[in-house]
Chains A and B, each alone.
Chain A
């Protein structure tokens, strides 16, 4: 009977091509607009490292003296000072941890064909690659010996390797970062994440860095950050050394903690670390405080998905509702015109339930066709976003979940719009329409 209803639905749509087209167009437009905003929102709010987001934590330390304030919701600084980041990174616990900051260099080769260009660079510990499950196409991360010796070594992305070395194994080759020659020790595979979740300062949706160099080079090369530096008291900073010894917040820090016990243990460790630092005249506060959030909690805390995006999604759903209201009107007119036929069907033995089902399947077909067309419109919308909003480019795409959601949302929406007309037509008394035939 289901296939028969589909056949009847198809005939009905063909019988009134203009009305059918208008309804499909309305649902396609509604779904197109909704899926455009929903896809961007979905990509924004998607877990960027689903398989281990609950095991990666960003610690925060309340370094500020009593009475000092910052603009975070819990008054904890978002970033760490250099000395805290360095100390925590050198602590024996936990096994995997990495401090980091974003900087940049002019990249060039001993090759006249490649013009120098500026490239974002991440200065970090070698655990960075383990923490975020980055795999190597060639080579590996730098060794502890190289890090300890502040050797000028670098890991580059596959994209940069393609650009500089045509994708060949470049391990052992040299590149210049500003005027310093770096030896390439590894090339990482493309990083399949849409978000720079490990450093959401200056835009969480910017692309990842293409060059990674050891953390020890910050001191060795006096590297400064290209990201945010936030101070909370007057300090006379005259050199990078001063900055490294200051209470300015300018580094990010991530640790991997396997279970709740490890989280609790690390919390205790942070408290004892701060207590120890108090003996050096730091952390001048009565109540020590820290933060320890996993990836998703961190992204919520940092408001990576802004309320604007949520408002946009809500508005697009309202537009879909307006489209549905139009469809409801058209369906009412169409179904009630068909009441005499329904009367005949009821006289011939169709139950109300069967008549209702027949009409619901017809509106589901409308939804399916509208949903498929809506995907096309959404693709156009996303293309427009990519074209005009470069920052959102990585997000302006529909993943499989969104592609499958589009027809499901369209069908559900059409079924909701069709419930009343279908109910109305199925409860008509057949005799009324048989007389008027």
Chain B
């Protein structure tokens, strides 16, 4: 589903060049649930942004569903993103002026789905995350966990095949985090491919496949054999 070959990302300032990703290789297969871990500044979020076409890469090749992302225009990338990818952010990123119903509606509007179909999907997704009765509430009237569930509902409403989650439980307490994780596992069982960036080893362990990013590259698994919390898991790259 997702293939990155030799992908590099360089942030250039007047003084320095920062290599956020270097010769990054990864293949994600349909239906996988992958946890991405790594130290702060290792390039996890950059990888996720490039995977989600939210920012361009400097070199290499990125294929999403056999489409060469590098050859797409901005509008084509926006379409592809809208059709195939759902995002869940650490900071929820709900639009404060819109109520829950309207927040979930945002990607559907950009996809040009008709009002009746939108309504059906929104109500279904809000029900799925347990917030069906709060459709008219504004985000600020909800707890952090509830807001993240709305963000998940928004990601699900577009029926994406590929879900990118950046620290989805980072702002939540452990109970809320577990609930969100269970929801993601359910979504994966329903067929969505999930790539989740996390700092939490416990959450990472629950994912069937882990990869670790160090210094902008997928770490050599042999170097990480025996790392605490990962000794009983298969750590693979590429």
Task: Specify the chain A residue showing the minimal Cβ separation from B77.
Answer: A351
Q: What is the CA–CA distance of A270 and B61 in the complex, to the nearest angstrom?
A: 86
The answer to whether residues A429 and B78 also contact, given A348-B106, A435-B45 and a CB cut-off of 8 A, is no
Give chain A residues whose Cβ lies under 8 Å from the Cβ of B52.
347
- Of the candidates A1, A340, A349, the one whose C-beta lies within 8 Å of that of B107 is A349
Q: What is the CA–CA distance of A15 and B98 in the complex, to the nearest angstrom?
A: 12
- Of the candidates A340, A354, A429, the one whose C-beta lies within 8 Å of that of B54 is A429
Give chain A residues whose Cβ lies under 8 Å from the Cβ of B95.
341, 344-345
Contact with A along B82-123 (1 / 0, CB 8 A): 110001010101110100000000110111100000000000
- Of the candidates A341, A348, A352, the one whose C-beta lies within 8 Å of that of B75 is A352
Tell me which residues from 413 to 430 in chain A have a Cβ below 8 Å from any Cβ of chain B. Answer: 429-430
Q: Report if B154 contacts A (CB, 8 A).
A: yes
Min CB distance A33 to B, Å, is 34
Task: Specify the chain A residue showing the minimal Cβ separation from B80.
Answer: A349
Q: Report if B216 contacts A (CB, 8 A).
A: no
Task: Specify the chain A residue showing the minimal Cβ separation from B92.
Answer: A437
- Of the candidates A11, A12, A346, A349, the one whose C-beta lies within 8 Å of that of B111 is A349
Q: What is the CA–CA distance of A217 and B107 in the complex, to the nearest angstrom?
A: 85
Q: What is the CA–CA distance of A191 and B109 in the complex, to the nearest angstrom?
A: 57
The answer to whether residues A11 and B97 also contact, given A348-B82, A351-B74, A431-B55 and a CB cut-off of 8 A, is yes
The answer to whether residues A354 and B110 also contact, given A346-B78, A347-B81, A349-B78 and a CB cut-off of 8 A, is yes
How many residues from A make CB contacts under 8 Å with B?
26
Q: Report if B158 contacts A (CB, 8 A).
A: yes
Q: Report if B79 contacts A (CB, 8 A).
A: yes
Give chain A residues whose Cβ lies under 8 Å from the Cβ of B111.
349
Tell me which residues from 28 to 60 in chain B have a Cβ below 8 Å from any Cβ of chain A. Answer: 45, 49, 52, 54-55
Q: What is the CA–CA distance of A346 and B82 in the complex, to the nearest angstrom?
A: 9
Q: What is the CA–CA distance of A62 and B110 in the complex, to the nearest angstrom?
A: 74
Min CB distance B6 to A, Å, is 21
Min CB distance A420 to B, Å, is 19
Q: Choose among A11, A15, A352, A430 the residue with the greatest number of B CB atoms under 10 Å from its CB.
A: A430
Q: What is the CA–CA distance of A336 and B228 in the complex, to the nearest angstrom?
A: 44
A348 & B55 in contact (Cβ 8 Å cutoff): no
Give chain B residues whose Cβ lies under 8 Å from the Cβ of A11.
97
Q: Report if A115 contacts B (CB, 8 A).
A: no
Q: What is the CA–CA distance of A345 and B45 in the complex, to the nearest angstrom?
A: 18
Q: Report if A350 contacts B (CB, 8 A).
A: yes
Q: Report if A4 contacts B (CB, 8 A).
A: yes
Give chain B residues whose Cβ lies under 8 Å from the Cβ of A380.
none
Task: Specify the chain A residue showing the minimal Cβ separation from B154.
Answer: A348
Min CB distance B158 to A, Å, is 7
Q: What is the CA–CA distance of A336 and B94 in the complex, to the nearest angstrom?
A: 18
Q: What is the CA–CA distance of A437 and B154 in the complex, to the nearest angstrom?
A: 17
Tell me which residues from 56 to 80 in chain B have a Cβ below 8 Å from any Cβ of chain A. Answer: 74-75, 78-79
Q: What is the CA–CA distance of A353 and B73 in the complex, to the nearest angstrom?
A: 12
Q: What is the CA–CA distance of A12 and B89 in the complex, to the nearest angstrom?
A: 24
Min CB distance B54 to A, Å, is 4
B75 & A15 in contact (Cβ 8 Å cutoff): no
Give chain A residues whose Cβ lies under 8 Å from the Cβ of B112.
1
Give chain B residues whose Cβ lies under 8 Å from the Cβ of A347.
52, 54, 81, 87, 93
Q: Report if A325 contacts B (CB, 8 A).
A: no
Contact with B along A274-297 (1 / 0, CB 8 A): 000000000000000000000000
Give chain B residues whose Cβ lies under 8 Å from the Cβ of A430.
54-55
A351 & B79 in contact (Cβ 8 Å cutoff): yes
Give chain B residues whose Cβ lies under 8 Å from the Cβ of A435.
45
Q: What is the CA–CA distance of A235 and B19 in the complex, to the nearest angstrom?
A: 100
Task: Specify the chain A residue showing the minimal Cβ separation from B105.
Answer: A4
B54 & A431 in contact (Cβ 8 Å cutoff): yes
Min CB distance A117 to B, Å, is 67
Tell me which residues from 143 to 166 in chain B have a Cβ below 8 Å from any Cβ of chain A. Answer: 154, 158
A352 & B107 in contact (Cβ 8 Å cutoff): no
Q: Report if A434 contacts B (CB, 8 A).
A: yes
Give chain B residues whose Cβ lies under 8 Å from the Cβ of A4.
109
17 additional A-B residue pairs with CB within 8 Å, beyond A1-B109, A347-B54, A351-B75? A4-B109, A344-B94, A344-B95, A347-B93, A348-B81, A348-B87, A349-B81, A351-B110, A352-B78, A429-B54, A431-B55, A432-B55, A434-B54, A434-B91, A434-B93, A437-B91, A437-B93
* Subset of 11 A-B contacts with CB under 8 Å: A1-B109, A1-B112, A4-B109, A15-B97, A344-B95, A346-B54, A349-B81, A349-B82, A352-B78, A434-B93, A437-B89
Q: Please name the 10 residue pairs, one residue from A and one from B, whose CB atoms are nearest each other, closest first.
A: A349-B82, A351-B78, A431-B54, A349-B110, A431-B49, A431-B55, A348-B107, A437-B91, A351-B75, A344-B93
